[in-house]
Chains A and B, each alone.
Chain A
């Protein structure tokens, strides 16, 4: 008998003659206190994100590239990691070409091993899309893909995320249910709520522990 069989054997013996506890999942408790309605949903998301040092900006699907350029230039950043294979990546590249911006774009187009040093030490900012947002907790839902890999939202000190207002839901239960998460999850699904932080030294909050020091969420009101 191996360890698995021995452990399971012990557990089974302990359960002999018992019946499993019924599933009386209380959906109402996870949704009712966390409803916002169309007027306040985005306000709630922004308030929650800003309370944890996230920055949010209302914009539109036509204007967001200009907002990204402004945010980068305000920080003296001249380089952005972006996925050219996504629609938003292409839109942003088009915007730069049109405006003749000097901003350099960097693509995550090789396995991380091929450019780890550059990613870790010479990539100041990144832009990614999101699957949506959750108003109750002020969370972005990230669903990394081969086009927008996991480390894009983690390693660069400044992370800009695009969020369609229409993809924001009131609470986690609603989001998970609507997107049928139980039917299949990607390699690494994520909720991100603000920039990285810690209160490990004398309960004093400090941002930028290991992940992004700054998180800017561009909320596209017309999308």
Chain B
């Protein structure tokens, strides 16, 4: 009797916790549905989700003695039923009331989950809000439900489509999971110790076989438990739309939040750690970025702002970009604040690039909020966000076009997650390499390889392919075997280039749980973290891309987003800033070269360079290339630094002594008096600096016989922006540029500015450049002036001129 009673009570407890868990699960989905439904009240599907939620809560309340919850959900259910049948139409007041009900249900259920009694209070306010303007409902809602007569659970509403069957799941406390994780690690270590004993003693084969079975089971256990820790980013994303909606309402703004990439899986811990930074960035974007609807309309934007969160996983990094189309960031105001806060000196300002100025937003004590709002501007800001991201071994930076919005790029190591890896040995060290990079493994002693040296780089000929080959020992500055006695990993780098990395030995395939390391170690850009092996020893996980960059195997990817420098508040005319490289030539002159033309930097042995002013050449990667800038008598030192310039079809080398800096320059170029290597002068930090004329260099040095493109594009070269910006871009896309003023009668493409008269030329295609960013409805042939990608795409999609 007693036994059965306690059994029954226990079962009730289980039921209650199941109810609480189920409600919480549904809440997340409902939050999203609510926001979507509010945006589009005709969205029947979302309304159904909300109805089902309330219906389920109401039905469940019947089992438990929860009169308050039962009453509230009952009224909400009736209201929603009326909405579904069209008896009532959703207005803002009603939607707010429904949202408030869902919140209240959330509060109550959370309290139950904490084992508390339901909070005291009345829901009359919400019930009244739902019933206001309601055609009097059938009684029951007004009369308090007596606690001792809980309503019977209703049958499933036949109108509600039944829920899809979900996979069975249970919930576990995270601490328990962590304990299980560390216990399994210990079990593995003990297993390995046992394995040594098993090897050392001649054991009964039956015992050894049993041990092997145990060993395999432990391996499987460990894999499964590792999987338990993985979580889809959706878990974080589902909560955001509601937050954004509430905040936008509070601020009187309109905004649409778009999210993609929720299917990316990350370690649970990382997801928890990036939650706050992302929420903070969103709040900032809403508070300071997105303008009030009327201000947006005034500046020619749609009244509702856009915030996009995009997530991408590449190798073992996860990139999250949060983009808004608000008013952007006022770099000059940041500078002012930084000056008054003593973060920078007056003398620093002239040397700061636009990116540097924007970067000030991450400094402690800077807040651009003119007044402290309840949302942001309380001095705790982006500096904390940056610190958190850095501690995860990630990076964060920001780009912004004044008036056009801001974009925050976060790159995180997905390191806490399990990375399928190869372990390799060099000297006494062991390292891990993400398996995703390794295309193939070959022993250097194999007959199919032939090595050759050019300049200071080793090439390996492998199945008809020639690959650059580096020793990991060199890259890490540790002793290791000579290349000829190594194992080679053929590694596929970002961008698809293959290269070979020589290690003493490739040891094993392992799944490694990589943990980030201290910043002082991460800063070297050689490692993504470290992982514990089964025997308790540590391996460092290599940052393949970082190493390839340092070894000059790939060129630094250049962010070519244009930035604007605003002169001052009166003169808000945007001025284009062009990314450029400041270098010292072999003769020691300061010169600038546009970043667009630079493909990469290479170092070669001096003896691979043939000097001279006319026919200088350099041997690089097994090719002989024409070399410009080599009008000197001798190279100082053993190595020469070569800047590789490309125009999309041919490459030339330019001899320099070093790269000084990457800068941005304006387009107010003072043309040089005569055609030649120097295109003209620009002012850089108050100094007139010569800009290399890559165009002329290609014409002069690119190998004769290189087929010139037959595709033509007509531009209005009378316009300065077209000359300085558009022309190199169009040429880079493989077109020969014709000047509209010369009156050509035929071309493949013509590019005109919106509002200017149609070109007189008979072009197969006309691309129109608009000054405003068209609202996502850009046709193929109308492109925003600063949308480089769209423009290149439009150029690539050209239609053949029918002969």
Asked if A and B are interacting partners, one says no
Interface positions of B (Cβ within 8 A of A): none
